[in-house]
Every structure is written in C-alpha cells, then in structure tokens.
Structure 1
Amino acid sequence: MPNKLKLWSYLAIGAFQISLSASLLGYWAKKAVGAENIILNYGALEFSVSVDSLETYATTGELEGSLKSYAGFLTPEQLEQLKVGLITNADFSHLAIAQFLYSYQGETILDRVSKVIKTQARQPGFYAVRAALILAAANEEEGGLTPLNVLKSFPTNTLRIDSRQGFELFKNLSRVVQKNNQGIAAVEQTARQERQNKATATPGVRDLNLLIPGKYRYKKQALIMKDVKRKYPSGKIRDRIFPVDLYLPKTKTPQHLPLIVISHGLGSDLTTFAYLAKHLASHGFAVAVPEHPGSSASQIESLLTGLDSDVTPPQELIDRPLDIQFLLDKLAQDYSSEIDTNNVGIIGQSFGAYTALAIAGAELNWSTLEKDCDNIQNSWNLSLLIQCLALQIPDADAEIELQDRRIKAAIAINPLTSSIFGQKNISKIDIPITIVSGSSDPITPALSEQIIPFTWLNNPEKYLVLLKKGTHFSTLNESAGSIPVPEKAIGPDPKIAQAYIKQLGLAFFGTYIQKKAKYSSYLNAEYGDVISKRKMPLSLIESLDPELLKLK
C-alpha cells in the first residue's frame, strides 16, 4: 500500500478513537468530581481530569489524582486501551497534517470534532484542535503526533469536552455498529442457507486449484496514455496523461485475448494490485493497470507536501471512468490483433470500485447526493467525504456518459455507492457483478456501502463476498518504502485476502469473460466455505433478503 494513502487508515481509526475517548470521558464526568486541565461538561455540572495524571499513567502505569478516582468506572481492558492509545504515534510530519487538515475532508472532520471538544471559553474547538494536531506532529522530541501530545499542545490552558454531545455521538455510533453487525450476521446466515441448498443439489465439479499460476508466461509493457486536450461539456479542456502497465500473455498461436482492467483506489499506484494482474495474466488474460493521476499516490504526496490543496479534485469522479474509456480506445487501436477490447472485465478497489460501477452502468444520483450531503455532519460514513465531491462538478460535465458497453463484467472491492449512485441507479447495472466487503471497514462501511447496495442489484448474475475482520486495506499489496500501518487498519494477514481475490477473480472472470464453464461451479457459498480461513472467514452469497437488514 502506498504510504501516503495510509493517512486515511489513521484518519479512520482516529475518528473512532476521538468519539470513543469523548464518550469515556463523558462517562467519567457523569460519575466523578475533580478539578484540573480538562474540563468535562455535563449539563450544568463540570468535572475535570489532569493531563499530568494522564501522562503519568501512560508512561508509568500508575493511577494518581482524579484519574485514579475515575478508573473504577472502566474495565481493565478499557484502561489498557487508554494507556496504549495515549502514546500511540501516527507517524506524519506537521506539514502533512497541516495540509490534510486544511483540505475539504480535513475541515469536515474537524467541524464534527469541534462540537465535542471546545475551548476554555466554551467556543467550538475547530481552530484549537487543528493547531494542537499540527503542533503535536511538529514536536518530535516529545513523541510526535500522539493523543497525549495533542492534549499538551492545545492552545488554551483548558479544553472542554461537551459530554452530552459526546454521548450523542457515541449513541449514534453504537447504533451504526449494531446495524452493521446485523447486516454481517444476515450475510453469514444467508451463506449457511445457500451452502445447505447447494449440498442437496447436484454438486459442481471442482478439480482446479485457483491459487496456482496458470500455464501462460507473460510480458509487462509500460505504456503512456496521452489524452491531450480532453474536452468537457462545460468547455474545459485538459491534458490527461497517465501511465499504464500492460500484462500480455505469450501464446504459441495468435489469439484475441480477453482483457481485464484494474482500477486502483485513492492514493494507490500501479503496484497495488500487481499480484492480481500477474495471476490473471498467467491464466490467459491481458491485464491493463492504469494509474489515475488525480487520485494516485502522487496526488496524495502533492497534498501532503503543500503542492496541492485537495485530497482529490471533484472532477476525478468523471475523469476516472473517462480514463478507462480512453484506454480501451487506445488498446483497440494499437493491439487490435492481440486484445479483444469488446470483451472486457474490470476490477477496482474503493475509488477504483466506484470507477468500475460507474463504467458498468451506474449513473450518478444527484437527488440522493443532495439529500445525504446536506446532512454529512451527522454521518459516520467517511466515504461521503469523497461521494459529496460530486456536487462540485459543473452541471454540464455532470451529464457526461460514463458507461462503456465494452465492459461485460465487474468486481467492486470496498466500493462507495450509497449516495453517489443510490438504489435507483445501482439497479441499472445489467452485467455480472461481484461486490467485495470487509466487515471492519470504517471508511466505506460494509452495511451502507456494500451489503444494502447488493440488494439493489436486479441482475441475477450477482455475488456478494464478505471478509469477516477484513478492513479497507486488507486486499492491497504494500509498496516498498511505506510507513508502518496500525494492525487494526490492515486487519488479519493481508495474504489471506489477496488469495481470496486471486481465486474469486479468476473464477468470476473465467466464467463471464473467458466464458469457460469449468469456473462456474466456484461461484457459490459452498466454494466460499472451502477456501475460507479462520483468521478472516469468507462468506459468498448470490442473493440477500432485504428484510434481514431491518434493525430489530
């Protein structure tokens, strides 16, 4: 995984930790009395906890002062989480943090946090929290960007935590978690039922090990796509130049090879899914891996070094599918004798999964975007920070046709879907689709972004794959030179998730792009159970009753 993208992993964890910490402190405020630097408000009552006592506990494990009184209200596990969490370092420079916090996404998150964390004068802590984060990151001698250093860097003598707001956030978060868990249980229940039904029917023949590389050797070519003076309906003209890695199997006789396109996520690059490209190429697919310039690792690097002010520009929601269209046109022109560009599969992750669904036929849904984005401050869905960028696209450009009929099948891993497509437009997809979800994904939450949208698909050739304990980053290959990522952000061994993607990707594209019947018996709950690993259990289903998703 490219190191710059990992800011999102810390962001996701940080957003959760802030809400949890505010709730725990609010719980203390409700139960205890004291007086020091952190003032906890609960209605007309005020309580306090000392930053010094927090530092002593984090560094020595000793409970003292007001903190010792409050500790009785927490479990040993919660106390240990607090101790470790206070000094856990998010290894980013103060410049990188500053650049992100001045972006649209950073300011939106700060606005949410400032309703809970306030200044001594009871004003929202938007600017104070931003300053504290930047100052803490700059103070490397004291450990850099840790929650404890953020507290010590707060620009007023006292910070206030609005416990009622914290409790409200925690209540909303708890409900989100409860609903998400119910959705996961519904998928697992359905998988058990589909396995049972399959067992009573005639079993399919499965004599292939889909993890083994295929018989084809392949060569990798580095291409440059030059969409010079790309024209938009709004009148804008831009140069869109981007690299592509093309994997071409070597065949003894000339063949018209089926094509798979891999679209990376925000902050990724050509190497993120190289493991999958190589596997598919060895089984006879031509594989094209473009690097989208407005949302690649280079874009995030530009943000963090001060050369750009956006995580990604709104126009990227349009440009990504247009990149794929242009790529197919160029391959049809230059490789017409080698590649069948009228028989194409696409697989994408996160922003790339959005790209895959958009080019597969899901249109942007302006009514759901306007409704949901107007209420973004009350949502725990971090993916809305990308989805809502669509509202900044010029009206004329918003009407660009993104679908490409050359795409015959698509896999979407951790897609963002709920608002940008909505039920009406997801249901317009009429080609075979697989949606892959991680149960522990805080960025594109499983229930709202994958499980519920799966029920909106009308196409009978559809599959939902759930990786239990999988996160937003579980399927990504880590690039050389990347910074350490918290284990919670990666989840269990990513090699397990990558093996799942290789096996199911081959089975899916082998069935619907290569048109080989031998692969079809691998696309069911029974095979999902066969390859499932205990550290990250896999459930594969072909249908889901929406009634199972209603919160009880």
Structure 2
Amino acid sequence: MTKTINKQPVWLKLALRIFSIGLLPTLTAYPALGAERIRFNYGILERSIPISSLETYARTGKVDENLAAYRKYVDKKQLAQLRKVLLTRIPLNQVEVSQFLYTPIGERLLEKLGKVIQTESNLSGFYAIRAALILSAADQKEFTLLNVLSKFPASAISINLNQSLAIAESLQNLVNQTQNAVAFINQQSQQKVTTASTLKTVPLMDLGKTGSFNFSKQTITLNDLSRQRRFPADIYLPTAQTPRPIIVISHGLGSDRTSFAYLAEHLASYGFVVAVPEHPGSNSQQIQALLAGIADRVTNPRELIDRPLDIKFLLDELTRLSKSNSTFSGRLNLEQVGVVGQSFGGYTALALAGAKINFEQLKADCPALENTLNVSLLLQCLAVNLPNAQYNLSDPRIKAAIAIDPVVSSIFGQASLSQIKIPVMIVSGSSDTVAPALTEQIEPFTWLTTQNKYLALINGGTHFSTIAESPNATIPVPTQVIGSSPALARRYVKALSVPFFETYVAQQSSYLSYLSPDYVNTISQQPLPLSLIKSLTSEQLQEAFK
C-alpha cells in the first residue's frame, strides 16, 4: 500500500520528523496537548507513542523500547531539542492564558491547531487544547508542554497527518524559498563590496558609536479631542544653535516607547530631535488589560488608523510648541522629518510614507487565513473589519522612512507599496517567524518603485532582535525567541539609521557612502552577518527560487 524505507512507511518517517522538529516548536509557541498516547493517523493507518515514554525521556534522558523504535528517524540534536521543548517552562499564568485563548486571535489559533491536533474520536481539538492549557497553567511552576500533555481531557491525542504533512510541505517550501532568497541577497551584497572596494579611498567611521551632541529628554502629554485619544511622548532634544531635523519612532504591538529608547538616544547624539509616542491601543498596557480581563482583544482594528494619526497629531503639536513654548522654540525643523517603526510600527511608518490600506488585497487574502503560516496576517486582516474608505494616513512632512520587520504583504500589497515616493529602508531578520522575511519584507521590497530604497538583511535575526526589553513588559520574551546577539542587531539599527536619515532627512549627501554594501561589510559581525542591497526584482527572486 505504501512504499517502505528500512521497513517503515515513508509517511511514518515524515510523521516522526514533523513531530520532533515541526509540530513541537509550533505547540511551544502556541502551547498545547496531553493524554496517555499520541497517535499519528494517516488514512486507515495508525502508529502511536505513549506519553509516558516521552516523560521518561524528558525527565531522565533515557529512551525506552517504545521510543527506541523511532529514534533512528531523528538525530541526536533533534532528540535533545525535543527534551528541551518538553521541559521548558512557559512564562504565563492561568488568567493570562485564559484571557488570550478567548480573544478572536487566540480562538483563530486554536481552530488552526484543532485541525491537526484532535481527540481520539478524530474530532477537532479546539476545546481540548484550550482546556489542557488553562488547567496546566494553574500550576505555574510546572507549566510545560509535558504538563499540558497530562491535562489533555481525552485518553489519546490524535495527530492528523494529512493536515500535518500539508503544513510541513508548505513550511518546507517557505523555508527553501527563504533560504534561496537570503543566499541571493547575501551574494549580491558581497559582489557590490568586491566592486566598491577597488574604488574606496576614504575610511568610513563606525556610526554605531555615540555621536557628539548632548541632549535632554522631555515628556509631553498629547490629547486629541477629535479622537478622544490621550497619549504621552518622549522628546529627545539635542543641544544645538539651530533647528534640528526630527525623527519619530513608532513601537510595535505590545511594546512601548521605551523599547527603542536606545535608538532615540543614539539619533539624538547625532543632532536629531527624536519624538517617541506611546500608541495607547496597541502598547504593553493594552496587553496587560487583555491579560487582566479588562480588554477582550489584542488590539482594536481601529489601531490601524489611529497609529499613523497619532504621529500626524504629534507633529502638529510639535509645530504648536515650537511657536509657544520656550523649551522647543527655535529647536525643531519641521520641514525635515523622518520616521522609523518596528513590526506594527513598520506598518505605521509605511502608511505615513504613502502606502494606503488595500482592501482589495485583504479581500483576496484573508478568507484563506486559516491555511497560512504567516502569523502576521492575523494582525493585518483585522483591517477587514474597518469601513472600506479612503483613509488619509500619509503625511507630506515625512521625507524618509525606515521599516524594521514590517507587516505589509496584505494590508498594503504591491499596489499600495508601489505608490510610496520617498526614500525607504526595510530591515529584515532572516529568522523572523512572526513576520516572515520572504513574504513580509523581501517580496514587498521588490514592489517598491521609489528611486532610493534599501533592504538590510540581518542573517539570523528574529522579530525581537532589535527590541530592547521594556521595564513595563507584561510577558518576558524567552531568550530562544529573541535569538542570539540582540545587542549586535541593535547596533546595526543605530549604524544604518544615522546615515539614512542624515542623507534623506538632513540632506547631508556626504553620508551617502555609508549606505553601501562596502560600509555594511565593515560593521558586519558573526553571529549575525549583515547584508545590504539597493535593488531586487521579482524576476530575480523567481530565478533564485529555482
């Protein structure tokens, strides 16, 4: 009936590989599971592993006879990863888990998992997964995947291999294409370095080091009565004799204005006024409200509109203060403004740069949301709940934009991103699993038609590499999610943002030579090598995929 390899069906070999290196990391990211046995079902065929065998291995490192039969299908590294995953404590409590799992996004994730992880009657595991998670989270010290297994309200966990293999195939295709695209970008960046090195005559400084300007910080409170929206903003003011260019920083979902304080201080040390607003409907306080049961969702769809409007209102307020407040008088150049944002803030930056919400693209993409591996679409597709209108989110005062790990593929799509006319830099992490590099940054980069565009690729960077941990963080981000050397990733952001904004906001053309693969090569370090390209076409990507 099925082709065999080493007397084991091909599907069973794939099943064990999926379970050891595919499904378990997924279930750790969105914790799930429990019972006496885990069964792998493929049509009328079935194989199973006792939960007790996994527990014995996790607790002692010993592989019993039940698990030994499958050990030859995974290597030692994967087995060690399995053990770590089973015993890693999940840093959430019962209330936090309950609140999230009853939100629309939480339920969407449960629906997706429920098609793969089922009860012994092959019914959706939606309710069983939720129950197991909530029950396990009651014991916070032992809230691990292994503990969740013991709370699963059924005698067996059934893994639907048809669904699993489809997910695995899609995942493998995405991984392969991403690897090919990343290899092509790295190759192109190195080729430019080789060419440029023969022409280089003046040594370049390390702009990741602190600049020469002193600065002070002021916190102001803004109150937009038209939207009933009140929020604070930190303003970093360099000590200077002339009005200085302004850079606005927009934080990501669940972060706050302290998450990029390191970048604000760095830019201020180079003479930029830096304004960092707090977006009240999508900051750390919103997540706290969600986990406390005060809010019923991760964020409101209206945040997609309010975030850019926050920055437009902030610039209006700075204009007013420059005329009426001695602290700001003569210190702000509102004709030279740039914006930088990360993740949801990356969306915010590109909306201000001129990209419009693309309801046609959302209409095409969002019905298939349950089949996607792109978690960021859960956020982007909130826009389908907005009235289909022409929202005025761009701002002509913005002269250049940097988007770090932006979420843009569906909410903007090619049609909207191609309308941006100002200089843009996209910063991407090749190991981003929240906003996948290929679909959210690399392909969207090919859609940009603006004359001055840059793609900076942090090899090995994750969605959280460039974010400094906030003292107000509700949930600490696990080290394995942040990835290696976050300090190096943040240094790259500092070293690239200075010449980009000096060139395109402050109009200092002498910094243009820093926006080159040659400069990037001088600051690139292991374990996160950095590449930079200025052009990439969809045809080149398709060729790279081959």
Same fold (TM over 0.5): yes
2: distance between equivalents of 1:447 and 1:422? 14
Out of 271, 290, 293, the position equivalent to 1:284 is 271
Cα 1:340/1:204, change in 2 over 3 Å? farther
Out of 192, 197, 202, the position equivalent to 2:190 is 192
Residue 322 (structure 2) aligns with: 335
Matched, 1:413 2:409: no
1:305 deviates by 1.2
1: distance between equivalents of 2:114 and 2:208? 49
2: distance between equivalents of 1:540 and 1:384? 26
1:19 deviates by 7.8
Out of 257, 260, 276, the position equivalent to 1:273 is 260
1:136 deviates by 1.1
Residues 95-122 of structure 1, C-alpha deviations (whole Å, 9 max, x = no match): 1111111112111111111111111221
Cα 1:384/1:18, change in 2 over 3 Å? farther
Residue 224 (structure 1) aligns with: 221
Instruction: Kindly indicate whether structure 1 or structure 2 has the higher relative contact order, using CA contacts under 8 Å at least 6 residues apart.
Output: 1
Residue 305 (structure 1) aligns with: 292
Which residue identity is paired with 1:97? V
Q: Which runs of structure 2 are paired with 1:15-54 in the superposition (5 Å)? A: 20-21=22-23, 37-54=37-54
Q: Alignment partner of 2:226: what SS? A: strand
Q: Is the 8 A contact 2:431 2:460 kept in 1?
A: yes
Residue 6 (structure 2) aligns with: none
Matched residues, number: 513
Cα 1:59/1:195, change in 2 over 3 Å? same
1:484 deviates by 4.8
Q: Is the 8 A contact 1:19 1:166 kept in 2?
A: no
Out of 146, 150, 155, the position equivalent to 1:148 is 146
Q: Which runs of structure 2 are paired with 1:95-174 in the superposition (5 Å)? A: 95-140=95-140, 143-144=142-143, 146-174=144-172
Residue 517 (structure 2) aligns with: 525
Matched, 1:472 2:463: yes
Out of 334, 346, 357, the position equivalent to 2:339 is 346
Residue 321 (structure 1) aligns with: 308
2: distance between equivalents of 1:56 and 1:365? 52
1:206 deviates by 4.1
Residue 9 (structure 1) aligns with: none
Q: Is the 8 A contact 1:260 1:345 kept in 2?
A: yes
Cα 1:17/1:46, change in 2 over 3 Å? closer
1: distance between equivalents of 2:322 and 2:25? 59
Residues 338-384 of structure 1, C-alpha deviations (whole Å, 9 max, x = no match): 21222100000000010000010011111111111111111111110
Which residue identity is paired with 2:114? S
Cα 1:170/1:287, change in 2 over 3 Å? same
Residue 527 (structure 2) aligns with: 535
Residues 174-229 of structure 1, C-alpha deviations (whole Å, 9 max, x = no match): 111111111111211111222233234x4363443312322221110010010013
1:90 deviates by 1.3
TM-score, length basis structure 2: 0.91
2: distance between equivalents of 1:467 and 1:363? 27
Q: Alignment partner of 2:399: what SS? A: strand
Question: Gaps (5+ residues) in structure 2?
Answer: 1-17, 28-34, 324-329
Which residue identity is paired with 1:358? A
2: distance between equivalents of 1:209 and 1:51? 54
Which residue identity is paired with 1:331? L
Q: Is the 8 A contact 1:270 1:289 kept in 2?
A: yes
1: distance between equivalents of 2:195 and 2:408? 30
In terms of mean alpha carbon deviation, does 438-447 or 180-189 score higher?
A: 180-189
Residue 283 (structure 2) aligns with: 296
Q: Is the 8 A contact 1:41 1:163 kept in 2?
A: yes
Residue 246 (structure 2) aligns with: 259
Out of 477, 480, 493, the position equivalent to 1:488 is 480
Residues 466-499 of structure 1, C-alpha deviations (whole Å, 9 max, x = no match): 0000000111111237565333311121110111
1:70 deviates by 2.0
Residue 449 (structure 1) aligns with: 440
1:450 deviates by 0.6
Residues 103-159 of structure 1, C-alpha deviations (whole Å, 9 max, x = no match): 121111111111111112211111111111111111235x11x11111111011222
Residue 234 (structure 1) aligns with: none
1: distance between equivalents of 2:522 and 2:118? 52
Give identity over the alignment, percent: 48
2: distance between equivalents of 1:349 and 1:22? 28
Which residue identity is paired with 1:213? T
1: distance between equivalents of 2:476 and 2:402? 28
Q: Which runs of structure 2 are paired with 1:342-491 in the superposition (5 Å)? A: 342-395=335-388, 398-480=389-471, 482=473, 484-491=476-483
